[in-house]
Structure 1
């Protein structure tokens, strides 16, 4: 067992995590929990149903440390053991006995109580990797298991942002590409845009790129894509922004299974801090899986009845499928188009029951010029209000605060006065 403990005495949060409380997906590992109470067992099972646990294999048993010790006398230990202690147990003695039957490399998370008297130094000596004070919540379990592999391993676990339109032609791709540009430029985060509309994708046009290779070279190859392959397929748009383009050809039919893109996403997560998915407007197994598996979701809609219905349906489905995540966000695009009847913004908000992350006004000249020149909105007009909206969206989706100019030292005025007197 690895001796690296992370103390966690924070108050349990009843709310879903905020944007900056990022919890990385759990890798393909086996986790076995031995619980003393039904309440704890139910919480651990709920964590196992979360999207971040989709690749892990979880089993939950009753009996605490005694059951774990008995079980591992005759079977190999998993990657992670979750062990709930009881008031009547001797935690240190139990850990000593568990260590005698535990395989090297197994990580241990202990769920204790405020009445535990075992000092943290002794827990560390016995190989405890994390100690959580009960009663626990679902997010405590997710955060603990995720941190074992995202904080202690030399692996970058990239944040995935998915952008999808509530209806075709609402400008979801334009929003995705401009937000990704702002993340790379204004947030200074290395980012990748993945154009998932293989037949009709426009990311190559928007970024003025014509790469020889694209996502089809990864999806249709027989072997699992690795980091070296993905690096070869990426087109460099800026110093910090790369593009995994769509072939945008009709010489084949692009039908995929639900897990078709998993290997691509997993590989890029290992090397890229931020991944923006430009998801086409369709409802299939793989689009649903990509949306549910993303860390942040933005639904782009126009202010009309079909968009309102579709946006509400998508939001309801994703909220139900992601109970431990912040609800998906949405933005209103092309608002105020001349001579077009529109649903008022306040009525749209009332029906959706949440405010949009942004309300982007219609500006045919600005967006048309950017699209025809292969430019971003900020390249056409950096001071335009819409350019600033994309930066604000980038800040919220990445959990980064507003960029500020560096301030001078607080002691500066005092030092200047002293120099003047000298």
Structure 2
């Protein structure tokens, strides 16, 4: 689809849209296909979207006697005067609060100013990237002057026992300590989580209090539930008790994640090796996903299944990151990192060597690897992983606006 390719990677965080309705009226198949791609994105999960052809004239007819949705997207290929006439007709039946986004094919600053004067929320010039449209729709509901959203990093094991929780905890430590970013690690394994043990913490409250009493959860309660591990690192610990079963709904963590994203720059989700609705949703909804595997066959099979699913469910996001752990376990036949990467279709970001003494000592002491062996290869590996997962290790791509005419830059910047 020329001109509408998915955008990959980058440091920008685009907020998910709230529960709203959206109707798009397109005039070209390319823009209609782009709208369909946007509607299927993970950030549009709560949006009830409908895409149809006909452009502004069809929108005027559709809403003569029907209520308007929260968002209307109009593509126009006509003269500006015809577009203005259709907008005037549409305004007569538009409900208060309805937001309108216009997609045009001409860089015209005068038209842009006229549209904004008439209450249009934004004007996009085709062709554009998928994330350009997602960003525009997201910004319709971003509070003016609100703090930037935190980046969520989900870490999951390809199978049980591969050390995914250990990797998650040490990566969170590296983000907080080495990258100087305020970080929260959320242990989602309510029954058997080990984050409290690994950080030598035994808080009286934690993630279970947030999940099992969502009606009480707000920013103040969340702050009370967090246990401080260091200046920049806080823990949302699991109780690791079997006093009740953990049969959670698919959206059980949704409010918690929203509050965390609005309060801290980085959130590391320690996702247990389960396949439930909420676990799948946590992975698909994260800004970055790291899969931890051992260099053996079962891990390879499961990792490939996860990669294939996430590739399909997150077409506009970066690929999952692959981490091989426990590499070099004595007497175990292992799959070479290159062969592992070839089989699953993505590169291995990092290979962490097996060191029973080092990891065992850290676990027993409730310390991180960097506290036991600062400056060692394993500690440096966690810093490297943290750098990539937070977007600080990737070169910033040049913005498309630098290559566009001045008028296009003015339109995107709303000058």
Both structures adopt the same fold (TM-score exceeding 0.5): yes
Residue of structure 1 equivalent to 2:56: 65
Residue of structure 2 equivalent to 1:273: 265
User: How far apart are the structure 2 equivalents of 1:117 and 1:65?
Assistant: 20
Residue of structure 2 equivalent to 1:193: 185
Where do 4+ consecutive residues of structure 1 move more than 6 Å?
none
Residue of structure 2 equivalent to 1:409: none
Matched, 1:240 2:232: yes
Trace 1:252-267 onto structure 2 (pairs within 5 A).
Answer: 252-267=244-259
Per the alignment, in what secondary structure is the counterpart of residue 128 of structure 1? coil
User: How far apart are the structure 1 equivalents of 2:145 and 2:86?
Assistant: 28
Kindly indicate whether the alpha-carbon contact (under 8 Å) linking 2:6 and 2:131 is maintained by their aligned counterparts in 1: no
Residue of structure 2 equivalent to 1:408: none
Kindly indicate whether the alpha-carbon contact (under 8 Å) linking 2:6 and 2:315 is maintained by their aligned counterparts in 1: no
The aligned length equals 393
Tell which deviates more after alignment, 297-306 or 116-125: 116-125
RMSD: 2.3
Kindly indicate whether the alpha-carbon contact (under 8 Å) linking 1:165 and 1:281 is maintained by their aligned counterparts in 2: yes
Cα pair distance change 1:158/1:85, threshold 3 Å: same
- Match for residue 292 of structure 2 among 292, 300, 303: 300
What's the offset of the Cα at 1:401? 4.3
Trace 1:200-215 onto structure 2 (pairs within 5 A).
Answer: 200-215=192-207
- Match for residue 162 of structure 1 among 130, 154, 177: 154
Kindly indicate whether the alpha-carbon contact (under 8 Å) linking 2:105 and 2:125 is maintained by their aligned counterparts in 1: yes
Encode CA deviations 1:249-295: one digit per residue, 9 max, x unaligned.
11221111222222221222222222111011121222111111111
- Match for residue 82 of structure 1 among 67, 73, 77: 73
Kindly indicate whether the alpha-carbon contact (under 8 Å) linking 1:87 and 1:115 is maintained by their aligned counterparts in 2: no
- Match for residue 30 of structure 1 among 21, 37, 43: 21
Kindly indicate whether the alpha-carbon contact (under 8 Å) linking 1:19 and 1:397 is maintained by their aligned counterparts in 2: no
Kindly indicate whether the alpha-carbon contact (under 8 Å) linking 2:22 and 2:71 is maintained by their aligned counterparts in 1: yes
Higher radius of gyration, 1 or 2: 1
Matched, 1:310 2:302: yes
Matched, 1:359 2:347: no
**Structure 2 portions without partners, runs of 5+:** 396-415
What's the offset of the Cα at 1:117? 7.4
Kindly indicate whether the alpha-carbon contact (under 8 Å) linking 1:150 and 1:156 is maintained by their aligned counterparts in 2: no
User: How far apart are the structure 2 equivalents of 1:102 and 1:392?
Assistant: 52
User: How far apart are the structure 2 equivalents of 1:396 and 1:332?
Assistant: 15
Per the alignment, in what secondary structure is the counterpart of residue 66 of structure 1? helix
Matched, 1:147 2:139: yes
Cα pair distance change 1:187/1:76, threshold 3 Å: farther
Q: Name the TM-score, length of structure 1 as normaliser.
A: 0.86
Per the alignment, in what secondary structure is the counterpart of residue 65 of structure 1? helix
User: How far apart are the structure 1 equivalents of 2:107 and 2:332?
Assistant: 66
Kindly indicate whether the alpha-carbon contact (under 8 Å) linking 1:30 and 1:80 is maintained by their aligned counterparts in 2: yes
Per the alignment, in what secondary structure is the counterpart of residue 290 of structure 2? strand
Per the alignment, in what secondary structure is the counterpart of residue 114 of structure 1? coil
What's the offset of the Cα at 1:371? 1.1
**Structure 1 portions without partners, runs of 5+:** 1-10, 404-422
Residue of structure 2 equivalent to 1:419: none
Per the alignment, in what secondary structure is the counterpart of residue 27 of structure 1? coil
Residue of structure 1 equivalent to 2:405: none
Cα pair distance change 1:338/1:318, threshold 3 Å: same
User: How far apart are the structure 2 equivalents of 1:115 and 1:201?
Assistant: 54
Per the alignment, in what secondary structure is the counterpart of residue 121 of structure 2? strand
